[in-house]
Amino acid sequence: MTQAYTHKFTEEYEMIGQMADLADPGVYPTVAYRSMANHQRGVVILILGGMAQGATVDLVLMQAQDAAGTGAKVIAGKAMTQLTQAAGDGGDIVAIELRTEELDVNNGFSFVGAILTIGVGAVEIAVVALMGASNYMPVPTTGWTEIVD
């Protein structure tokens, strides 16, 4: 599906999660499980800033059978390569794209979430998650604080 010239980006792409923080080491459920029933595609974008000595960052997309995370498991091939302070990865930007056919729909998996893991030291980070290629437009705009047209 191509975006028509007259369609607004926010009418076609639903904001489903975001995080911007100076995050300490830990595991963060960055994107709560959301149904992809009305969407054909999704993307999670990670923007990394400064990294403390020895810091590492991992991001993986998960699938579940419902919004509570029942049966949650990793979506095959949807984990980024680990970013590290030692490799000079501060300032990197990563996008993980997803199509509905990559989910285990035969076993009832239609909900998607993301888990961010930060190891060793704190990092400056932002994560944005969007779903697009909506079956029914316009999509809800409740995930946006303001839309300037």
Q: What is the pLDDT along the chain (149 residues), one digit of tens a residue?
A: 555 667 788 888 999 999 999 999 999 988 899 999 999 999 999 999 999 999 999 999 999 999 999 999 999 999 999 999 999 999 999 999 999 999 999 999 999 999 999 999 999 999 999 999 888 888 888 888 899 98
Residue 104: both structure tokens together: 């285990």
Q: Where are the domains of the chain?
A: 21-125
**CA atoms within 13 Å, Cβ hemisphere of 22:** 3
- Please tell me the predicted confidence (pLDDT) of residue 81: 98
Task: Tell me the CA end-to-end span of the chain in Å, nearest whole number.
Answer: 22
Q: Give the type of residue at 23.
A: A
Pairing of β 123-134 and β 14-23: antiparallel
Q: How far is CA 81 from the centre of its chain?
A: 15
Residue 27: both structure tokens together: 């595991």
Q: Give the type of residue at 82.
A: Q
